[in-house]
Chains A and B, each alone.
Chain A
Amino acid sequence: MHILAFLIRRAVQAVIVMFVISLIGFSIQDNLGDPLRELVGQSVSEEERDALRDELGLNDPFFVQYVRFLGNAVQGDLGTSYFFKRPALEVIMDKFPATFELVLGAVFIFVTVSIPAGIYCAIHRDSWFARIIMTGSIIGISIPVFLTAIFMVWLFGVELGWLPAFGRGDTVALPWGWDTGLLTLDGWSHLILPSITLSSIMLPLFIRLIRAEMLETMGTDYVRFARAKGLSTSRVRYVHAFRNTLLPVVTVGGLMIGTLIAYTILTETVFQWPGMGFLFLEAVNRVDTPLIIAYIIVVGLIFVVVNTLVDFVYTLINPMVKLPGAKA
């Protein structure tokens, strides 16, 4: 029951946020570019243009147009792309699987590397390996994601020629419209470099964070008490200490969602990975306003949804934080 109350509250908040985003998005769209210029050629007369404007409802007051926009949006119509001449939302969702799989790959690598590395650096803090990792982290933080990507492309794609440097490779179309690259070897080989690149940006930060948190929890009284009870070292470390380390890590993770989306755009650009980010940049170059706005709205939605999920996960792992609506 608490979960339901929590979800409803967050859903309401999400709706409000989306309202704001859509309002901003729409008012920008209203002032950006002239849809008529895209739809008809130059040789159309002024009266015909005006008539067309009336017909399309472009002369209606702002509020009316906005409500119409909202109505359409809720039904999934976010305008029509000038370039593709197809519904903007459709164009974006076409590219969603590519971005999703990229992020999935990155998150997988990130989780399997940063957690053990962080824990190791905390437990064996003076070992040479730990020092190498920590030094690498400082350098890693100073290298922008696109440079890592370029370096990867250059080293593995051009110099060594081991892995493909751009594109997604062969994809298999799954029945419900999802084009996946995970079912072909070619698809996998294309996924490796971009995923490593994307995950590498978050690694230094989280390794340092996990190490710092782990060191702190290992010095607490409750860890000392756990040892005084005669518990095994591994139980003390991984059950007592690590569980507490997770909390700030999840919090920081939640704050990084927007940054991750931005890094995805950068990675897709370097690798010419046909995802939503790459699409967005192309739309910017082509001044394809409906597509730009639609992307912003979709990203806003993703941001809100993921944030809610992260908050939810946080309440699951931290028993001291109650879901709103739970009894005291």
Chain B
Amino acid sequence: MAMLDIRDLHVAFPRGKKDEVEALRGVDLTLEKGERLGVVGESGAGKSMLAFAILNLIAEPGRVSAGRITFHGENLLELSERDIRGIRGNRISMIFQDPMVTLNPVLTIGTQMIETLKAHRRISEAEAHRLCVEKLRLVAIPSAESRMSAYPHELSGGLRQRVVIAIALLTDPELIIADEPTTALDVTIQAEIMALILKLCRENDVALILITHDLGVVAEVTERIMIMYAGKCVEEGPTRTIIETPAHPYTYGLLRALPQNAVRGEKLYQIPGAMPPITALPSGCAYHPRCARATDRCRAEIPALGPEGTACFHPLAPAEAAS
């Protein structure tokens, strides 16, 4: 049985007094122990929503309106607040996007690390302190001991994110959900941090859900990829397969738009149009207005995610897709 199994997840937000609009429109996801999955999509596609839903952290007034999220067989959505707290930061950890706003500016690094440990196990202050320093060293932070009493604003962006990663690892979790962990950092630091995350996950056999809009990063780090568009998953499969022979036109478009895939002398490719907001979705397949292969069927029916891992009525054949 898969470690994490998400079935038909729907997340909805109220609109006006009676209506609701869905940010996630039925998403499935499975994850094995130690597996690394990338969730790729544009802003607004619902990737972060997926991450927060797993830990039941959808901000009000949003809510999970349907679906199941099972972790080792237990449905996380049915757990009491107390029980889900036992899982948060303990067996499933999260890394947010911008470490400057993730860490509380008025509390020391040490305080924010030790409190995580103390929330989940009985441990003395001294022992917790020791463990924290150890983890700081693990993420290659120099002068780890003195950093414990430092405040977040005294560290650089890269160091701060390392602290956040260290916090995520403190309780030896089984799964880390990283929501755009490098987007807010300097380009030069991004690669370092990504390499660090990869290394730590491999070494400690920790599963990873990496949420990002950057296909390049995902290719390096993950074993499977899930492509999201307008609140649904449109393609998923092994990383290699998707990168080399994408089946969904959107995935193809994304790959073609990557600078490294550009043809010399030609203009950089861009998918025409823009992703529709969840409040104004077209009928049928949400991608059809931008798709060159769209037919009447696409405009009328919503394609389901098929067994080959694509939600499309006219997927690309492997030969077409190789580029």
B119 interfacial by beta-carbon distance below 8 Å: yes
Q: Which residues of B contact A232 (CB under 8 A)?
A: 85, 119
Residues in B79-128 with C-beta less than 8 Å from chain A: 81, 85-90, 93-94, 96, 98, 101-108, 115-116, 119-120
Bound form: Cα–Cα A244–B152 in Å: 14
**Measured between C-beta atoms, what is the minimum distance from A285 to chain B in Å?**
49
Bound form: Cα–Cα A230–B93 in Å: 9
Bound form: Cα–Cα A319–B103 in Å: 13
Q: How many A-B Cβ pairs are below 8 Å?
A: 77
Decide: A319 near B106, CB < 8 A? Known: A228-B88, A230-B86: yes
B105 contacts A225, CB within 8 Å? no
B96 contacts A235, CB within 8 Å? no
A230 contacts B103, CB within 8 Å? no
Out of A225, A233, A239, A247, which one reaches B102, CB within 8 Å? Answer: A225
B105 contacts A319, CB within 8 Å? yes
Scan A221-242; emit 1 where CB is below 8 A from any B CB, else 0: 1111111111111010001100
Bound form: Cα–Cα A62–B55 in Å: 76
Q: Which residues of B contact A240 (CB under 8 A)?
A: 104, 107
A184 interfacial by beta-carbon distance below 8 Å: no
B89 contacts A229, CB within 8 Å? yes
Decide: A230 near B96, CB < 8 A? Known: A222-B101, A224-B59: no
Scan B213-250; emit 1 where CB is below 8 A from any A CB, else 0: 00000000000000000000000000000000000000
**Measured between C-beta atoms, what is the minimum distance from A319 to chain B in Å?**
4
B57 interfacial by beta-carbon distance below 8 Å: yes
B167 interfacial by beta-carbon distance below 8 Å: yes
Decide: A235 near B106, CB < 8 A? Known: A227-B57, A320-B151: no
Scan B45-85; emit 1 where CB is below 8 A from any A CB, else 0: 00000000001010100000000000000000000010001
* Chain A contact patch, size range: 20 to 34
Bound form: Cα–Cα A317–B120 in Å: 28
**Measured between C-beta atoms, what is the minimum distance from B69 to chain A in Å?**
15
Residues in A105-149 with C-beta less than 8 Å from chain B: none
**Measured between C-beta atoms, what is the minimum distance from A57 to chain B in Å?**
56
B119 contacts A244, CB within 8 Å? no
B106 contacts A230, CB within 8 Å? no
B153 contacts A320, CB within 8 Å? yes
Q: Which residues of A contact B59 (CB under 8 A)?
A: 219, 224
A286 interfacial by beta-carbon distance below 8 Å: no
A9 interfacial by beta-carbon distance below 8 Å: no
Bound form: Cα–Cα A78–B192 in Å: 69
Q: Which residues of B contact A220 (CB under 8 A)?
A: 101
A68 interfacial by beta-carbon distance below 8 Å: no
Residues in B262-317 with C-beta less than 8 Å from chain A: none
A226 contacts B104, CB within 8 Å? yes
Out of B103, B104, B120, which one reaches A244, CB within 8 Å? Answer: B104
A72 interfacial by beta-carbon distance below 8 Å: no
A243 interfacial by beta-carbon distance below 8 Å: yes
A243 contacts B107, CB within 8 Å? yes
A318 contacts B106, CB within 8 Å? yes
B87 contacts A230, CB within 8 Å? yes
Bound form: Cα–Cα A318–B119 in Å: 25
**Measured between C-beta atoms, what is the minimum distance from A10 to chain B in Å?**
23
**Measured between C-beta atoms, what is the minimum distance from B121 to chain A in Å?**
11
B88 contacts A230, CB within 8 Å? yes
**Measured between C-beta atoms, what is the minimum distance from A199 to chain B in Å?**
27
Q: Which residues of B contact A317 (CB under 8 A)?
A: 106
A319 contacts B151, CB within 8 Å? yes
Q: What residue of chain B has the Cβ atom nearest to residue A219's Cβ?
A: B59
A-B residue pairs in contact (CB < 8 Å), sample of 22: A219-B59, A222-B101, A222-B103, A222-B105, A223-B104, A224-B59, A225-B94, A228-B88, A228-B93, A228-B94, A230-B85, A230-B89, A230-B119, A231-B85, A232-B119, A239-B107, A239-B115, A240-B104, A243-B107, A244-B106, A319-B108, A320-B151
Q: A220-B101, A229-B119 are in contact. List 20 more A-B contacts (CB 8 A).
A: A222-B103, A222-B105, A223-B104, A224-B59, A224-B96, A225-B96, A225-B103, A226-B104, A227-B57, A228-B88, A229-B93, A230-B85, A230-B87, A230-B88, A231-B85, A231-B116, A232-B119, A235-B115, A247-B106, A319-B153
Q: Which 4 A-B pairs have the closest CB atoms?
A: A229-B89, A230-B89, A230-B88, A221-B101
